[in-house]
């Protein structure tokens, strides 16, 4: 017996875990489940370990104080050897972790793995997803910059909509009356102690359940899950056509995990760390706060939802979504596992993916927000001024100075909140333009109080020139009818 084996034996005599480990390694998995589709869970675990490790590294330097956090991040970025790289790995690791956990959820859902007897594994998984998102949000707060500061304001504003206890909830969230040092300290405690602690506990439970209940078999159309027979069928499957987890399945997990870690490092090296953006001084109001990638869809939804349904959607929406996810294994705990036989499940997943993707895409250029420097940026392009009368040019000046371009694009630049005005004269008549400018409507503020009649006349004259030469100006059909009647002609039969 070698010296190494002797040392091993010494520990084994006391710990007595060799058997458990050997059983876990050798536990049989269905041959078809040793597949590339089953690697996302282990990749999520690998990323979590990476996050814990890099997080501890960052905590060596980071100062969780509203006065110093931002400076300590700058110090990490610029002065600590490879501090920028560790920040980048932690930031990109979080993006990858959210993505991988979401993919894991979709795969488990499509493969029907949440059905009997793996309901609890799924429910714990739902909470693991929520905590992963919680880590992403609290982590964004610890990067204490302008986005973090105003993001907390958004969190507080959403919280304030809770009926009855809203004010108390806001003060509990912020740790006081305003966003300040106490706020950052409590988010630090959440991000570094509370949520990771819960994550470690629940991940262990999640893994234990996978070992106890066995990995989900590859779903076959027509192989129906029944509570009475499933366990026996699974046993047969794994014993007749099973392979030991090590090494038959684990090599794929290890290959994929390594690829993910390398991808994180490549992204970190190439794109660098996230921020910090501007210094978190609330009196610097020249800022356009935006959330991190995985909350962009929410940012878009909050802008585009009708205001009257917003509070209800914000407060009831999460309850419905989480409630549905938790109840899912009880609603369809038996039956078909294969996605080929579950069209509703597939369509639901696709719809959600398309909706979230669309909102995320919209959020990358936020068409609902005014461009705050639209008016002071690009001047009105020359082609819209050539050959115009002095009055019309005066109107162009009014158009520029009154911040119309914050919401309206012309010549391809300006805000996207209102319609582009390059061809507005083909859509609206003079009277309609005057009415729209003075009274507003359809999400446009009324400018009646801020424009004198001369300015309105000039502005509308300018707007009337905004049409391509080959397209006629909008005309009021009723005016034409009236004119014709005056001349004694019968009105044309227009549909």
Partner 1 sequence: MSDQEKNEISRRDMFAKIGIVLNGLAVAVLAVPVVGYLVSPILGGDRGQYKRWITLGELDEFPEGQTRLAKFRNPISRVGDGETDDTPCWVRRIQGEQFQVFAINCAHLGCPVRWFAQSGLFMCPCHGGVYYQDGSRASGPPPRGLFEYPYKVESGKLLIEAGQLPTLSTTASLREGKTGCQG
Q: Dihedral through CA 299, CA 109, CA 99, CA 188, nearest 10?
A: 70
Nearer to partner 1, 317 or 369 (CB): 369
Nearer to partner 1, 66 or 267 (CB): 66
Nearer to partner 1, 282 or 323 (CB): 282
Least distance to partner 1 from the beta carbon of 358, Å? 17
d(C-alpha 455, C-alpha 391), whole Å? 10
Nearer to partner 1, 168 or 251 (CB): 168
Least distance to partner 1 from the beta carbon of 324, Å? 25
d(C-alpha 100, C-alpha 104), whole Å? 6
Least distance to partner 1 from the beta carbon of 184, Å? 8
Least distance to partner 1 from the beta carbon of 401, Å? 5
d(C-alpha 432, C-alpha 451), whole Å? 16
Nearer to partner 1, 171 or 427 (CB): 171
For 390, phi then psi, to 5°, come to -55, -40
What DSSP state is assigned to residue 372?
Answer: T
Least distance to partner 1 from the beta carbon of 452, Å? 12
d(C-alpha 190, C-alpha 493), whole Å? 71
Cis before 259 (ω within 30): no
Nearer to partner 1, 123 or 190 (CB): 190
Least distance to partner 1 from the beta carbon of 307, Å? 5
Residue 243 three-state SS: strand
Nearer to partner 1, 99 or 182 (CB): 182
* Rg for the chain, CA atoms, rounded: 31
Residue 145 three-state SS: coil
| Intra-chain end-to-end CA distance of the chain, in Å | 101
Nearer to partner 1, 13 or 286 (CB): 286
CB 398 within 8 A of CB 432: no
Query: What six digits make up the tokens of 94?
Result: 């979080």
Least distance to partner 1 from the beta carbon of 417, Å? 5
Residue 376 three-state SS: coil
CB 132 within 8 A of CB 97: yes
Q: Residue 55's closest CA among 90, 79, 80?
A: 90
Least distance to partner 1 from the beta carbon of 178, Å? 5
Least distance to partner 1 from the beta carbon of 374, Å? 10
- Other beta carbons within 10 angstroms of residue 487's beta carbon come to 7
Nearer to partner 1, 221 or 441 (CB): 441
Nearer to partner 1, 179 or 428 (CB): 179
Angle at 52 between CA 51 and CA 55, to 5 degrees: 80
Least distance to partner 1 from the beta carbon of 396, Å? 15
Nearer to partner 1, 145 or 336 (CB): 145
Residue 289 three-state SS: coil
Q: Residue 465's closest CA among 381, 376, 374, 405?
A: 381
In this structure, the strands spanning 28-30 and 242-244 are antiparallel
For 225, phi then psi, to 5°, come to -85, 125
Query: What six digits make up the tokens of 194?
Result: 């509370």
Nearer to partner 1, 185 or 338 (CB): 185
Least distance to partner 1 from the beta carbon of 272, Å? 25
**Which parts of this chain interact with partner 1 (CB under 8 A)?**
65-68, 149-150, 153-154, 156-162, 166-168, 170-172, 174-183, 185, 279-283, 285-289, 299, 302-303, 305, 307-308, 310-311, 368-370, 372, 375, 401-404, 406, 417, 440, 443-447, 449-450
Least distance to partner 1 from the beta carbon of 28, Å? 42
CB 396 within 8 A of CB 389: no
Q: Residue 115's closest CA among 233, 216, 241?
A: 216
C-alpha dihedral sign at 431, 437, 438, 441: positive
CB 432 within 8 A of CB 474: yes
Least distance to partner 1 from the beta carbon of 141, Å? 12
CB 460 within 8 A of CB 395: yes
Query: What six digits make up the tokens of 139?
Result: 């982590």
Nearer to partner 1, 42 or 403 (CB): 403
């Amino acid at each position: 017996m070698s010296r190494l084996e002797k040392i091993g034996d010494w520990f084994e005599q006391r710990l007595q875990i060799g058997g458990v480990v050997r059983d876990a390694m050798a536990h049989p998995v269905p041959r078809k489940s040793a597949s590339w589709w089953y690697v996302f869970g282990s990749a999520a675990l690998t990323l979590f370990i990476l996050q814990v490790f890099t997080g501890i590294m960052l905590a060596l330097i980071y100062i969780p104080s509203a006065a110093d956090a931002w400076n300590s991040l700058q110090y990490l970025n610029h002065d600590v050897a490879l501090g920028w790289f560790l920040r980048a790995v932690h930031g990109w690791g979080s993006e990858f972790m959210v993505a991988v956990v979401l993919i894991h959820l979709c795969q488990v859902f499509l493969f029907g793995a949440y059905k009997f007897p793996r309901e609890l594994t799924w429910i714990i998984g739902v909470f693991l997803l929520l905590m992963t998102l919680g880590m992403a949000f609290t982590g964004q707060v610890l990067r204490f910059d302008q986005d973090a500061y105003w993001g907390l304001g958004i969190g507080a504003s959403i919280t304030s909509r809770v009926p009855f206890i809203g004010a108390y909830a806001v003060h509990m969230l912020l740790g006081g009356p305003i966003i300040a040092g106490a706020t950052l300290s409590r988010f630090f405690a959440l991000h570094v102690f509370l949520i990771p602690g819960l994550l470690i506990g629940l991940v262990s439970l999640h893994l234990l359940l996978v070992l106890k209940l066995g990995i989900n078999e590859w779903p076959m159309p027509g192989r129906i899950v029944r509570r009475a027979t499933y366990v026996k069928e699974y046993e047969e499957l794994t014993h007749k056509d099973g392979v030991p987890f090590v090494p038959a399945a684990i090599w794929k997990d290890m290959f994929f995990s390594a690829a993910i870690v390398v991808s994180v490092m490549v992204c970190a090296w190439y794109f660098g760390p996230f921020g910090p953006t501007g210094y978190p001084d609330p009196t610097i109001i020249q800022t356009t706060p935006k959330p991190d990638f995985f909350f962009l869809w929410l940012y878009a939804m909050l802008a585009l939802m009708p205001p009257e349904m917003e509070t209800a959607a914000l407060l009831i929406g999460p309850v419905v979504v989480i409630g549905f996810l938790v109840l899912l294994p009880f609603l369809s705990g038996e039956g078909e596992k294969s996605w080929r036989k579950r069209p509703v499940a597939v369509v639901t997943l696709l719809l959600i993916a398309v909706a979230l993707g669309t909102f995320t895409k919209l959020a990358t250029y936020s068409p609902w927000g005014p461009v705050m420097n639209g008016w002071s940026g690009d001047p009105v392009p020359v082609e819209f001024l050539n050959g115009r009368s002095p009055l019309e040019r005066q109107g162009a000046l009014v158009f520029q100075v009154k911040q119309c371009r914050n919401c309206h694009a012309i010549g391809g630049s300006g805000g996207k909140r209102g319609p582009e005005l390059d061809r507005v004269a083909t859509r609206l008549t003079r009277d309609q333009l005057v009415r729209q400018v003075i009274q507003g409507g359809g999400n446009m503020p009324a400018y009646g109080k801020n424009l004198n009649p001369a300015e309105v006349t000039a502005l509308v004259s300018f707007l009337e020139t905004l049409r391509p030469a080959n397209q006629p100006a909008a005309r009021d059909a009723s005016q034409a009818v009236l004119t014709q009647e005056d001349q004694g002609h019968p009105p044309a039969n227009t549909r």
